[in-house]
Structure 1
Amino acid sequence: MKNTKLVSIVIPCYNDKDYIQESVNSALNQSYENIEVIIVDDGSNEATKKVLATINNHKKVKLITQENKGLSAARNTGIVNANGEYIAALDADDIFENTFIEKASSILNQQSMVGVVGCFSNYFVEKGKVIHKTCPEGGNIENFLFCNNTMASSLFRKQCWLDANGFDENMKKGYEDWEFWISVTKQSWQVHIIKEFLFNYRKKETSMLQTTNLLYEEENYQYVLNKHKDLYIKDFDKTIAFLQKRTLRYKTNEIKRLESIDYRIGNIILRPLRLLKKVILR
């Protein structure tokens, strides 16, 4: 099948001057030629804006600038301005392999019930060394209720975004991609996974996103479960089992922490200081 459908690759960017060029290059170097690249500058600093100004010279690249509104809002802005029937939301520090769009769009062309196509992913550090691999399963709503089963940068039909009412702009503390896939599969769309490593996720040593996800993990879970409570009530037994498993995990981790050598040594070191504090407070 010929490459007839336009694919819009939306790249939100917030202070990613060191990585944005590499991500844009991975979008422009796709074997699938009928693409447009939409960069949404989400209130970046001046150093990033200078880099974006040079990238904007490419005929397939469109730059949109807005005040900082968060990842979901930036993705929505890009998609609103996208002309493509198929959309991929690529983060500004991640990288597609050059055949991903071609292979993913072919599946969307051939399978009308499939709304989203993902793939296996490499997690790499700054020097390019792969430190972890993920092999999501895709599937339907049941596969997404308790975990994210595709990558954030999967290719999806613009109709899926319309059906899901876009990315939830209230979610500014992580997990917005998982919630989006729940909203999409809730509308009976299927998620197909290409069993090839065609996506590269940059794992920064000091990633603000990772820190945010950890700090607000429980808040995010509560928000998602409340937003889609009809689904979780319907699968009540599985929901209870899921929550019990999470609670057990936290208890296990806390026991490990209390029994760790570092914790015990820390207690020994701090004991004289605690005694001194008690004497002073008297």
Structure 2
Amino acid sequence: MISVSVIIPCYMDADTLAAALDSVLFQSRPVDEIIVVNDCSPQSREIDAIMALYSSVRYITNSENVGLAATRNIGLKSATTDIVSFLDADDQLHPQKIEFQLLAYEPGGAVSCQVQRMVDSCDLSALQSYEADFETERFTSSTSMQFRNHLVGASMMIGRQTLLDHGGYDDSLRSCEDYDLWLRLMYSGIQPVEIKLPLYLYRINPQGLSRNREKISYWELKAVEAHLRRSSSQFLSSVHDGKIWAVWQLRHLYRYELKPDPEYRQFIRNNIARLDKQPLLRLILTIIDHGRLMKVIIWFLLLFGRGKYLE
């Protein structure tokens, strides 16, 4: 029988870790292994006390803080199962997540799912149950993913050896490591399958890294640049690559208008200037920036409910 691990990296999550663990233990298809990796948290005393209540869960403590990507890799290398899945310690899993992802899983492939946002912990017993004839989408090309990350990173289910063979997560990334991994997997020929059900329960945390647009923008571009350099011998030499880069700068200009910051704007301008091989695209973005046309674009997108495409 195929075996499954759920790997839970943990840092400032003492208040939510128990709910995350309970959601794994509440799965309709029990998992074979749960691994919690404490990334040298300042809340270690509280986390240790919680883990003492879950004797069946493997507990690893990092000797120093290494970040989310490296912490997930530590859990990955420690896993003893055929398949691994992930859960952030401030989130939860829908009770049918593991069961349904196993139904969609193919050896050598990867499975994602949609997300349901929550403000506080969900009552798992009150969640809607789904039928097993769910809809899926296969991503046969990375083209759309280059312009926007469509897949929930923490929802991934993948063969342990497959992920190890692809190098796991990039330890050098302090954010967007999941986006980088999707791009690398797809570049190698893997076609992820997304289950069109909200099986990953994401807690809205205004203090979390994912809400810091400036930091996210920096790490997003690191992932995009790495992908473009893999697929082309000369960075931004093709019109296609230039369009990808330009769309990301447009997205960052949108974010800047929502929360202006001089350093962030200079960061955007520096990246627009890198389009030296695509002078027309660079000119268009410069006009949008200096001409303050972004305000008009934002108004248009919000009017027609399309603002999410630039978030």
Task: Give the TM-score band, short-chain normalised.
Answer: 0.7 to 0.9
Q: CA deviation at 1:209?
A: 3.5
Quick one: distance in 1 between partners of 2:34 and 2:203? 20
Counterpart Cα distance in 1 of 2:250 and 2:226: 22
Q: CA deviation at 1:83?
A: 0.9
Q: Please report how far the alpha carbon of residue 44 of structure 1 lies from its aligned counterpart in structure 2 after TM superposition.
A: 1.0
In the alignment, the residues of structure 2 paired with residue 199 and residue 219 of structure 1 have an alpha-carbon distance, to the nearest angstrom, of 23
One-letter code aligned to 1:33:
P
Partners of 1:214 and 1:44 lie apart in 2 by 24
Q: What is the match of residue 226 of structure 1?
A: 226
Q: Is 2:112 aligned against 1:118? A: yes
TM-score, normalised with respect to structure 1: 0.76
For residues 162 and 49 of structure 2, the distance between their equivalents in structure 1, rounded to whole angstroms, comes to: 31
Secondary structure of 2:192's aligned partner? strand
Greater radius of gyration (CA): 1
Normalised TM-score (structure 2): 0.70
Shift of 1:152: 1.6
Letter aligned with residue 237 of structure 1: V
**Quick check: 1:23–1:94 contact (8 Å CA) kept in 2?**
yes
The aligned counterpart of 1:160 is 162
Provide closer, same or farther for how the CA distance between residues 60 and 232 of structure 1 changes in structure 2, counting only shifts above 3 A.
farther
Residue 35 (structure 1) shift = 2.2
Structure 1 residue runs without a partner (length 5+) = 130-134, 260-282
Q: What are the superposed Cα offsets for residues 225-262 of structure 1, whole Å, 9 maximum, x if unpaired?
A: 13551325699333211222334455564637889xxx
In the alignment, is residue 58 of structure 1 matched against residue 59 of structure 2? Answer: no
SS in 2 for 1:21: helix
Q: Aligned partner of 1:92: which letter?
A: A
Q: Cα RMSD (Å) of the superposition?
A: 2.9
Change in CA separation of 1:243 and 1:15 when aligned onto 2, cut-off 3 Å: same
Q: 1 CA distance for matches of 2:139 and 2:70?
A: 26
Q: SS of 1:145's equivalent?
A: helix
**CA deviation string 1:255-279 (max 9, x = no partner):** 37889xxxxxxxxxxxxxxxxxxxx
Report the residue type matching 1:180 in the other structure. Answer: L
Q: How does 1:196-215 map to 2 (within 5 A)?
A: 196-211=197-212, 213-215=213-215
Give distance in 1, aligned partners of 2:186 and 2:56.
Answer: 31
Work out whether residues 137 and 194 of structure 2, in 8 Å CA contact, stay in contact via their aligned partners in 1.
Answer: yes
Q: Partners of 1:200 and 1:29 in 2: how far apart? A: 14
For structure 2, the residue ranges without an aligned partner over 5 or more in a row are: 124-134, 258-288, 297-311
**C-alpha displacement at 1:70, in angstroms?**
0.3
Q: What pairs up with 1:1-282 in 2 under 5 angstroms?
A: 4-46=1-43, 48-66=44-62, 67-108=64-105, 111-112=106-107, 115-126=109-120, 139-140=139-140, 141-153=142-154, 154-172=156-174, 174-211=175-212, 213-226=213-226, 228-231=228-231, 236-250=238-252, 253=257, 255=292
TM-fit CA distance, 1:22: 0.5
Whether the aligned pair in 2 keeps the contact of 1:137 and 1:149 (CA below 8 Å) is no
2:240 and 2:94 map into 1 onto residues whose CA distance is 37
| Equivalence for 1:280 | none
Separation of aligned partners in 1, 2:248 and 2:220: 14
* Deviation, structure 1 residue 190: 1.5
